Structure 1
């Protein structure tokens, strides 16, 4: 049986995540605090114990009021989530998770449960409990291994990708990379989301990341003290995750995004990370080719949905695909995302 996480168990929870090969930043207590304080979601964090009282598994989730009603998600928004379980305890964990959902459906009218997965993971035990596996998105990452950036990686970038040419050109234009302040970072993020017709994160999301996860890196690309590109990096253990890439379209010729990618990949090599993770990518989008030209390998990201007949509701790009042709490069949409509601509406799309 699973038991609710108590505050006095926060330390052993994080230790279990740290020691597990499936553990990610999004499973940590720091990320729990970030989501709680940013969105006010109700957490449902549980521990599965073995016969001796030790931790056999953990399950982090949040109850979210979204566009499809109340849903239980592990975990909202970001790439990864789901239970972390010791071998031999998966069946017990998923049986307990189903029982939790049945209780929440009866007491609070929860419509469905969505479980994301850690990197390169599939929960085959979930299917025996009638979860439906759904391809959520694609992840692109570079496996560093024992390679050296200067001698092994950078010289072998193919000329036809023009990656090295773009980085050299960016430097010649005088573009530099430095730490970004939250306000400039956020202004560029909102303008980028407005341009592509999508919803921005609220500013307090980034502020909470900086507060509760000091290892996060807010990086900006500058020319003449003007920020023209920005990236958020979330290093955790052996994985350096790069997310929230933004750029000033009027300065696209300066190749700020290429320079940011170059600096982040080099940072990961020099600090001996095992993986550079470029995050999830919408299927059939131009960003797939962009990440591939850097030598990134494609991986499938799954979600497991219960009950199975609700799996059609978890497509994160369905709403965007339906409405982007109206919101992309739209003056009214640009005005909307600069309002309080526009900068907080993402809470309904976990």
Structure 2
């Protein structure tokens, strides 16, 4: 079999989009609209590649340019829930090293993510496993809202949800204007609170300008002008999955209110009523408290496998020397144990 890679260009952009649409692992975060948003608003230096088997597209790889000293490499696209390499179901993972060989002609290292654990097991190059994250996925076919309410949520969690309805709060969908300003204000405050990365306002405005109304939903919860919270979901109606991406929370509400619970519950019901089968609550480490809170709605953790592949002999040698030096340091370190 003959494999080749091509940088994304105007002449092959339609083939990228076609593959993303028909592939089961495709996503809005692999679309060229998302690429344009990352480049135009965040100024990222993206390097997208298509993988060919003879003349057939069998994979797409969204990357960002990354350099360490004089060594050039590629990394997964930041600020994207899905940045994984996508391969056609017909691709033989035993040939993955042939793809890596092609990247080694121009790059010294490659950092990638995949849901397929067998892919990383096939790598012949020296590679380093990252601390794996997880996608938190709720399967609504297995856990519809009625079952979540009756069998999964605790009495205390059901109270946190119903407290908003009894308190006179209502849900409103927004598109732009002053309501978007308010959403962004509390999104920013929430990110400051959790020490997260704050996207600029232009990112959200660009998202609404680039994506159609059936691809983005912003729901806010208010009561007589009091903003309680908001949730921005990126929608994939073809694959019937909703990505709950950005949360805006008013943390000055009385302690009896937990807007994140109500927003999750409202979003679950909206997705169910509109024919969606899965909800993604984002990427988290298993030990993160936010992951445990999202699991309370019946979501499960789907492992993401990440690797740094050392493609050049020089980088591999430097890494091996560093590992050897570190092991020798540990072997000769004085004991800190106490003999009693």
Specify if TM > 0.5.
yes
Kindly report which structure 2 residues correspond to 1:219-234, keeping only aligned pairs within 5 A, or say none.
219-234=219-234
The SS at the match of 2:231 is strand
1:137 corresponds to 2:106: no
Counterparts of 1:81 and 1:233, CA distance in 2? 17
SS in 1 for 2:303: strand
Match of 1:170 in 2: 164
| Unmatched 5+ stretches in structure 2 | 311-315, 321-340
Residue 95 (structure 1) shift: 3.3
Indicate whether 1:127 and 2:123 are aligned.
yes
1:285-332 deviation per Cα after TM superposition (whole angstroms, max 9, x unaligned)? 22122112111112222212122859xxxxxxxxxxxxxxxxxxxxxx
Deviation at 1:279, TM superposition (A): 0.8
1:316 corresponding residue in structure 2: none
Give the total of aligned pairs: 300
Larger radius of gyration: 2
Matches within 5 A, 1:13-32: 13-32=16-35
The runs of 5 or more residues in structure 1 that have no matched partner are: 106-111, 311-350
Tell me, yes or no, if structure 1 residue 154 matches structure 2 residue 149: yes
Shifted more, 67-76 versus 187-196: the winner is 67-76
After the TM superposition, which residues 263-342 of structure 1 pair with which residues of structure 2 at under 5 Å, given as runs?
Answer: 263-307=266-310, 309=319
Distance 1:279-1:68 versus aligned 2 partners, 3 A rule: farther
TM-score normalised per structure 1: 0.76
**CA RMSD between the two structures:** 2.8
Q: Mark the CA change 1:123 to 1:246 in structure 2 (over 3 Å): closer, same or farther.
A: farther
Residue aligned with 1:8, SS: coil
- The offset of 1:40, in angstroms, is 1.8
User: Counting helix residues as a fraction of each chain, which structure ranks higher?
Assistant: 1
CA distance in structure 2 between the aligned counterparts of 1:201 and 1:147, rounded to whole angstroms: 32
Q: CA deviation at 1:211?
A: 1.9
**Any conservation in 2 of the 1:157–1:164 contact (CA below 8 Å)?**
no
User: How far is 1:198 from its partner?
Assistant: 3.1
**C-alpha contact 2:136 2:280 (8 A) present in aligned 1:** yes
Counterpart for residue 43 of structure 1: 46
TM-score (norm 2): 0.78
| Counterpart in the other structure of 1:12 | 15
Quote the offset at 1:97 in angstroms: 4.1
1:254 is the counterpart of 2:257: yes
SS in structure 1 at match of 2:304? strand
SS in structure 2 at match of 1:135: coil
